[in-house]
Amino acid sequence: MSLTEETLQDKIEVVQPYSIVQVRTATVIKKDGTEISRNFHRHTLAPNADISNESTEVQAIANAVWTDTVKANYKTFVESQEV
């Protein structure tokens, strides 16, 4: 009997209006090559997030959608919530 564990990012989404990047990571447990369990973890990244520890795919998407305009609009939104 062989148990293996695999972790993969199976879904990356961009949510408007501030191009929030949502990442879903699946942890898959297999027994002799057959999947017996799958669990999910989600996290979100806002335009002001540090993405240096994210996968290259997530970094590429964030860099593509987080334009200077999006970053400025998000900063304005955050500051308006702090009042």
pLDDT of residue 21: 98
14-35 confidence digits (pLDDT tens): 999 999 999 999 999 999 999 9
Q: What is the pTM of this model?
A: 0.88
Q: How far apart are CA 24 and CA 30, in angstroms?
A: 19
Q: Would you list the domain boundaries of the chain?
A: 3-81
Is the pLDDT reported for residue 47 higher than 90? yes
pLDDT at 60 over 90: yes
Alpha-carbon distance 1 to 10, whole Å? 27
Q: 33-43 pLDDT, tens per residue? A: 999 999 999 99
